[in-house]
């Protein structure tokens, strides 16, 4: 049994006899590890920046859609009959918005098609339109009447 314990003790090297190479990392290994870490950090930073940007765009579009729906509801509630285009600036949803209402004729004179386009106003500058909706308004003072669908292009005479 002493032979076994003797072979264990003779096989181990004292800590002072280890070479410098076995004690830690070389400068090149550390620099490669830092370079890999830097690349990963830059990629993660760009991905998070793109994510935050897309979240902001979606939030702006969602709020703009709420503003457009509210503008359409106001037209219907106030029973407004638009005859000309209208542009107004409103403050809603905690932001300033430009609301452009473009009026066009519909199938019958008793109906008007209104396109409501919403653009955010940031630092006093109107940005591009982020959402728009189409609504039909009816004139309660004018009878809708019947439609002659045979006279519509593509219909049978």
Report d(CA 9, CA 39) in Å as an integer. Answer: 46
Predicted local distance difference test score (pLDDT) of residue 12: 54
Domain assignment present for residue 10? The answer is no
Cα(143)–Cα(10) distance, integer angstroms: 111
Helices (H) and strands (E) in the chain, counts: 3, 5
Per-residue confidence (pLDDT) for residue 157, from 0 to 100: 46
Tell me, yes or no, whether 2 lies in a domain.
no
- Cβ–Cβ < 8 Å for 137, 108: no
Query: How many C-beta neighbours within 10 Å does residue 24 have?
Result: 8
Quote the pLDDT of residue 87.
94
Overall pTM surpassing 0.75 (yes/no): no
In a domain, 79, yes or no: yes
Count Cβ neighbours within 10 Å for each residue of 127-152 and write b for 16 or more, e otherwise: eeebbeeebebeeeeeeeeeeeeeee
- Does any domain span residue 130? yes
- List of the chain residues with pLDDT < 70: 1-22, 140, 142-157
Q: Does residue 155 form part of some domain? A: no
The CATH number of the domain holding residue 33 is: 3.30.1300.30
22 in a domain, yes or no?
A: no
Q: Is residue 96 part of a domain?
A: yes
Domain assignment present for residue 76? The answer is yes
Number of domains, the chain? 1
Sign of CA dihedral 65, 68, 70, 76: negative
Domain that holds residue 108: 27-144
pLDDT of residue 17: 54
Question: Rounded to whole angstroms, how far apart are CA atoms 113 and 103?
Answer: 6
Task: Please tell me the distance from the alpha carbon of residue 111 to that of residue 78, in angstroms, as a whole number.
Answer: 16
What is the rounded CA–CA span in Å between residue 55 and residue 93? 16
pLDDT reported for residue 150: 55
pLDDT at 10: 52
């Amino acid at each position: 049994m002493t032979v076994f314990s003797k072979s264990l003790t003779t096989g181990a090297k004292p800590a002072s006899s280890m070479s410098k190479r076995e004690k830690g990392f070389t400068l090149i290994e550390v620099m490669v590890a830092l370079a890999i870490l830097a690349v990963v950090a830059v990629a993660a930073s760009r991905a998070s920046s793109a994510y935050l940007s897309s979240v902001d765009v979606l939030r702006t579009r969602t709020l703009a859609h709420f503003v457009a729906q509210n503008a359409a509801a106001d037209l219907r509630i106030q029973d407004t009959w638009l005859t000309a285009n209208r542009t107004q600036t409103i403050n809603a949803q905690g932001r300033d918005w430009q609301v452009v209402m473009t009026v066009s004729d519909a199938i019958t004179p008793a109906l008007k098609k209104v396109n409501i386009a919403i653009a955010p106003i940031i630092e006093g500058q109107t940005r591009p339109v982020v959402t728009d909706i189409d609504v039909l308004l009816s004139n309660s003072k004018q009878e809708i009447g019947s439609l002659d669908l045979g006279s519509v292009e593509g219909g049978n005479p």
